Structure 1
Amino acid sequence: MVSVQEKKMKVARLSIISNTFLTSGKLLVGLSMGSIGVISEAIHSGLDLIASFIAFMAVRHSGRPADEDHPYGHGKYENLASIIEAILILVAAIGIFIQAVPKLWQGGQEIESLGWGAGVMAVSAAVNFVISRRLIAVGKETDSPALVADGWHLKTDVYTSLGVFVGLGAIYLTGYTLLDPIVGIIVGILIVKASFNLIRESMGVMLDVSLPSEEEGIIKKVLAKHSDQYIEYHSLRTRKSGPYRYVDLHLVVLRHLPIGTVHKLCDQIEDEIEGELPEVQVLIHCEPCEEAKEILEEVSCPRDICLAEECSASSEGKDKA
């Protein structure tokens, strides 16, 4: 059976191979035609190729186990790769603008071999459509931000290739070569938008933004399932590092409970959360009720679960996070 890491590495290699052939083809045809639109697509694919190498290296490093220097693992290599890939896309857009804007003021230039250019764009769109879907599917399945980012790069390439294809067709039908730099500029704008979206998503993880509300809801649902075995919980914190999730919280329990019973409860909660969410590590800090007086000072202990008459904690506020 193929492991998750092997599946990720396999699809990352596929991206490198496809981008190598597409970049070479676009560049050769674009230079022979003198088309800014096709050359801009070659630049875009060239940076996609570099991004594919970065994704490949990030996936390989993120799969390494935790060590002395990285006690939380290497998951954020993938998030860092996503940011680098987004910056590379932004650089590609700047290169396209540098080429296209002067041609726009000059009124365009004569373009030759429109059929070859249209053919290359059609093949590029078809190949990238298939590869991008595969990358995004595997990226979501394995929760790999680097693969998802690489997939979105290629999906952007699908749209831009189709844009250049339509532009070349319009030039063939109308003879207006000014459409070539216009298409190049539109391609650049689409690339800028894609890059900012990728940067925003990856920066959230790098800055330890909480898990999505849906995932935190799953955690709270598991805790609620065992609410009759503890007083309340608080200080719930969540974050993500690449494909890995980290959860920690404080659990207030009756002070008279044996440590073995409390430990068993924590293990059960941790196991159930790990069964609901992939690649998650849960850490629970237990507090006896007398050490949580500031939190529980306004409530009283339910007699049916209390083991001592003098206990002053209550089950009210179990859902307090």
Structure 2
Amino acid sequence: MNKINRKSKVALLSVMSNTMLIILKVVAGLLSGSVSIISEAIHSSMDLVASIIALFSVTVSSKPADRQHPYGHGKIENISGVIEGLLIFIAAFLIIKESINKILNPSEISGVSIGIVVMGIAAISNLFVSRELYKVAKQEDSIALEADALHLKTDVYTSLGVAIGLLLIKVTGIAILDPLVAMLVALLIIKEAWVLCSDAFGPLLDTCLPEEDEKQIQEIINNFDNVTGCHSLRTRKSGHYKYIDMHLVVKGEISVAAAHGICDEIEKSIEEKIVNSSINIHVEPEELPIEEK
């Protein structure tokens, strides 16, 4: 299975899963009158939109570079991640609004057992799908799939939280626990959105690669005898591609062919350590000492 099909198929799995869960949660929420279940349906609706965006972005980001996009289409995954983060913020706001309304205008909750069962199904389903998304996201270095996985991972915790809240209501009869649990769900979602937006937005500003990657690059360069230095190292990330530019200082007496060979070896070594990297090296001769007259 190639990368395009693999990423797209796992994203499609997320779309199908979220669609099923929305239907289950809406039905359970309407039957029980539980705002926490309705809040979870809202959360899943945002997850569905996010999954559709992720499916679109991983398909487009895998396209090869062209004349208009010489650096490829990778950054669309970062744009997707930012949009998904904003959608989570909106979901949290809607949940808090509905919870406050429920506190001010309380109503009886019925069909608690149905709600507990649906939330349990939702948690198990999202646990399975999020693990699959994380697995492919890490292997393919896809921020869009990682963002989608983060959505569903949070949904696992929130679904369990709602189920526990409904169980407490059934045991204690205290109905106000329902909107309080929903507000707790919203706070967890806000935290999720903040982390997601931070991770996705950085590459849009061309932030450098992690310090560990740049350290590896420097260690590789130091292993070559005819290389005396390196400066103007610049790194950035676009989707799963990593771009590395540097000025390499070599001994002045070596030939152009030898310098070119060193560059090829350095590029090969970096590509082995940092996958999906594109390296551009500008060679400079070492300044020879001026001979005394």
Sort the TM-score into its range (normalised by shorter chain): over 0.9
| Bigger Rg, structure 1 or 2 | 1
Determine if contact 1:238/1:246 at 8 Å carries over to the other structure.
yes
Match of residue 246 from structure 1: 243
C-alpha RMSD of matched pairs (Å): 1.4
Alpha-carbon distance, 1:253 to partner: 1.7
Distance 1:267 1:20 in 2: 49
> Are 2:142 and 1:120 equivalent residues in the alignment?
no
- Cα pair distance change 1:310/1:258, threshold 3 Å: farther
* Counterpart position of 2:90: 91
Q: Deviations over 1:86-118 (max 9, x none)?
A: 101111011111111121233x32011111100
Q: CA deviation at 1:261?
A: 0.9
Q: Which has the higher contact order (CA 8 A, sep 6+)?
A: 2
Contact 1:210 1:240 in 2 (8 A): yes
Matched, 1:71 2:82: no
> What are the equivalent positions in structure 2 for 1:3-82 lying under 5 Å apart?
3-82=2-81
SS at match of 1:231: strand
Shift of 1:310: 4.2
Q: Is the 8 A contact 2:221 2:227 kept in 1?
A: no
Q: CA deviation at 1:69?
A: 1.2
Residue segments in structure 2 that go unaligned for 5+ positions in a row? none
Give me the whole-angstrom Cα distance separating, in 2, the residues matched to 1:230 and 1:187.
Answer: 56
After TM superposition, the score normalised by the length of structure 1 is 0.88
Unaligned runs of 5+ in 1: 291-299, 302-308, 312-321
TM-superposed CA distance for 1:177, in Å, is 0.6
Given that 1:16 and 1:49 are in contact with CA atoms closer than 8 Å, whether structure 2 keeps it comes out as yes
Match of 2:271 in 1: 274
In 1, Cα distance between equivalents of 2:89 and 2:277: 33
Q: Tell me by how many angstroms 1:254 deviates.
A: 2.6
1:27-65 CA distance string (max 9 Å, x none): 111012111000000000011001000000000000001
Structure 1 segments (4+ residues) deviating >6 Å: none
Q: CA deviation at 1:221?
A: 1.5
Partner of 1:316: none
| Aligned twin of 1:135 | 133
Question: Alignment partner of 1:246: what SS?
Answer: strand
CA distance, structure 1, for counterparts of residue 73 and residue 191 of structure 2: 28
Query: 145, 148, 169: which one pairs with 2:146?
Result: 148
* 1:288 corresponds to 2:279: no
